[in-house]
Amino acid sequence: MADTWGRRLFTAGAIVLILLAMAHSISLFEPIQASNDTERQLLSLMRTYKFDLVGSPRSMDNLLRGFSICFMVAAVGLGVLDLVLSRERSALEGGVALVNALWLAVMTDVSLCYFFIIPTTFMIVALLLFALTWLVLRCSAS
């Protein structure tokens, strides 16, 4: 019975990671709108002012977009990997759930400092699902 709940929680965590990526992808299609002259100037500088990064001219907008895409790809990649592993033996699933819970704990901490409520909520939900998976599967193994 605990294995069944563990698998369900694990699969739910994987789906939440994929939903996080899908929600995050909206930011790639919706440009930031300036609401005043100061914001327009800031956004213009972020897009047009380039600085040298080891021989590559990059703007702050390039860096933010690149990191944003990496975040989305990582969430999708790990969510899909978790879905692939969701039919494996419980011990493997429990170990992967623990790894997911640990990296999501760090990501949630970063999110609380630098992001806003939507990505933070997705990460907290996924963290709780994977932590519960680990606890359920660990208790059933004992």
Q: For residue range 108-136, list pLDDT tens digits in order.
A: 999 999 999 999 999 999 999 999 999 99
pLDDT > 90 fraction of the chain, expressed in percent and rounded: 80
Structure tokens at 15: 């789906």
Q: Which residues contact 123 (CB under 8 A, 6 or more apart)?
A: 20, 104, 107, 108, 111
Residue 67 resides in a domain: no
Q: How many residues does the chain have?
A: 142
Residue-range definition of the domain harbouring residue 81: 2-35+74-141
Residue 1 has pLDDT above 80, yes or no: no
Is residue 110 one of the residues assigned to a domain? yes
Candidates 133, 136, 141; CA nearest to 99 is 133
Q: How far is CA 132 from the centre of its chain?
A: 18
Report yes or no on 64 lying in a domain. no
Q: Provide the pLDDT confidence category of residue 10 given band limits of 50, 70 and 90.
A: very high
59 domain residue, yes or no: no
Confidence class for position 57, pLDDT limits 50, 70, 90? very high
SS3 58: strand
Structural domain contains residue 51 = no
Nearest alpha carbon to residue 72 among 18, 14, 127, 126? 18
Percentage of the chain surpassing pLDDT 70? 97
What pLDDT sits at residue 4? 85
Helices 2-29 and 90-114: angle between axes, nearest 10 degrees: 40
27 burial (CB, 10 Å; 0-12 / 13-18 / 19+) is middle
Q: Is 58 contained in some domain?
A: no
Separation of alpha carbons 104 and 124, rounded Å: 8
pLDDT reading at 49 higher than 90: yes
Question: What's the domain count of the chain?
Answer: 1
**25 within some domain:** yes
The answer to whether residue 19 is domain-embedded is: yes
Average of pLDDT values for 9-36? 93
